[in-house]
């Protein structure tokens, strides 16, 4: 393939990228992001094929993002991950160490945390599914997608536990099921089961299964235990398989509801759904729970990540009393 090969003439490359991503069971969001970054990389170099380029072009592109694009450090890292995946997994080329990249600056910010009163004020302004999901973020420390991807079988009412499968880093973990959510969640699941039975009666009712389990267990997708705890109101077409299924609630709907609740509560902090998870960790630490316990509940690989929440243990100004207050 010569240097003038256009992106439109090389769909096989993107198909190979998608194939490798699905083989490794990456999420569809990761697939969409990686494909988009690879397209941008190719277009940046006048549609040259990546096989004709290498570490020098990757370095130049990442530097361009930081210097001219002024992207955040996390965005630059995502682009870097996409390109490394392309070369290592698809083109089977090992790039030399990328040492000439101008790194985007990652600001060292403390997480936004709500007080207990503020968290309750936000929750009190939510209803239905929005309230249940937000309750799991604050009451169990779940990430928003961990809550939305919960399956019925992963909620253990008898033990008061929630099994989070394939959290960040593809790790499973166990966290608590807040007792305040147990009965409302049971009532919610009763309605979800009625909806599922209606879907089955109409010839649907099959849910997405990971790791090609639908081929190994053809009927599992219709079983009650595999259904999403928070299903969407409408059925939709699976973009990968083309099957008509009922997916889980979209995270954008939860984000909008929580942002509105924050505004209605008169809270001026830039709070998001993830702020509720930050508040979960912070409030556990201020209640005296061991940091290792909090680390396990959050699913952090390194305790250093959890240590960021210990800033709240030192009262403002590192515990120093202001001379004005004396």
CA distances from 97 to 34, 82, 100, 109 (A): 20, 16, 9, 29
Q: Does residue 309 have an active-site annotation?
A: yes
Which residue among 18, 49, 143, 151 is the active-site one? 143
Task: Look at residues 299, 314, 315 and name the one whose alpha carbon lies nearest to residue 146.
Answer: 299
| Burial label, 162 (beta-carbon count in 10 A; 0-12, 13-18, 19+) | buried
Q: Catalytic site residue 274?
A: yes
**Annotated active-site residue in 274, 283, 311, 315:** 274
Q: In whole angstroms, what is the distance from residue 246 CA to residue 265 CA?
A: 33
**Which residues pair with residue 173 across a beta bridge?**
164
Give the dihedral of Cα atoms 205, 209, 213, 218; nearest 10 deg: 10
3-state class of 223 per DSSP? Answer: coil
State the CB neighbour count (10 A cutoff) for residue 150: 22
| Active-site pick, 48, 245, 278, 300 | 300
Tell me if residue 143 is catalytic.
yes
- In degrees, rounded to 5, the angle at the alpha carbon of residue 41 between the alpha carbons of residues 13 and 69 is 155
Given 47, 168, 235, 247, which residue is catalytic?
A: 168
Which among 245, 277, 278, 283 is annotated as catalytic?
A: 277
Dmax over CA atoms of the chain, in Å, equals 76
Coil, strand, or helix at residue 174? strand
Alpha helices in the chain (DSSP H): 11-23, 28-44, 55-67, 73-85, 116-123, 128-140, 144-148, 179-201, 213-216, 251-264, 273-286, 291-298, 303-306
Q: Per the residue annotation, which of 34, 208, 228, 309 is the catalytic one? A: 309
Q: Does the annotation count 269 as an active-site position? A: no
Tell me how far apart the alpha carbons of residues 259 and 237 are, in angstroms, rounded to a whole number: 28
Active site residues: 143, 168, 274, 277, 300, 309
């Amino acid at each position: 393939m010569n240097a003038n090969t256009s992106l439109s003439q090389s769909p096989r490359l993107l198909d190979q990228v998608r194939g490798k991503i699905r083989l490794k069971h990456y999420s569809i969001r990761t697939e969409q992001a990686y494909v988009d970054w690879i397209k941008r990389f190719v277009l940046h170099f006048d549609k040259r094929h990546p096989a004709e380029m290498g570490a020098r072009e990757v370095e130049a592109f990442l530097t361009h993002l930081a210097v001219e694009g002024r992207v955040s450090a996390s965005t630059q890292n995502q682009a870097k991950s996409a390109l490394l995946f392309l070369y290592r997994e698809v083109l089977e080329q090992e790039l030399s160490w990328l040492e000439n990249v101008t790194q985007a600056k990652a600001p060292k910010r403390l997480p936004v945390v709500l007080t207990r009163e503020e968290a309750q004020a936000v929750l009190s302004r939510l209803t239905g599914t929005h309230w249940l999901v937000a309750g799991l973020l604050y009451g169990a420390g779940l990430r928003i997608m961990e809550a939305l991807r919960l399956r019925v079988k992963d909620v253990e009412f008898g033990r008061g536990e929630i099994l989070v499968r394939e959290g960040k880093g593809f790790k499973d973990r166990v966290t608590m099921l807040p007792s305040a959510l147990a009965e409302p969640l049971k009532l919610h699941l009763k309605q979800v089961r009625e909806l599922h039975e209606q879907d089955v009666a109409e010839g649907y009712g099959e849910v997405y299964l990971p790791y090609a389990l639908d081929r190994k267990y053809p009927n599992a997708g219709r079983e009650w235990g595999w259904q999403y705890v928070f299903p969407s109101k409408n059925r939709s077409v699976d973009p990968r398989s083309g099957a008509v299924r009922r997916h889980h609630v979209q995270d954008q709907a939860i984000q909008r509801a929580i942002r509105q609740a924050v505004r209605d509560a008169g809270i001026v902090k830039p709070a998001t759904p993830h702020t509720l998870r930050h508040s979960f960790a912070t409030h556990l630490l201020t209640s005296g729970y061991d940091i290792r316990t909090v680390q396990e509940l959050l699913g952090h690989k390194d305790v250093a990540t959890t240590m960021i929440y210990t800033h709240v243990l030192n009262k403002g100004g590192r515990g120093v009393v202001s001379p004005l207050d004396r």
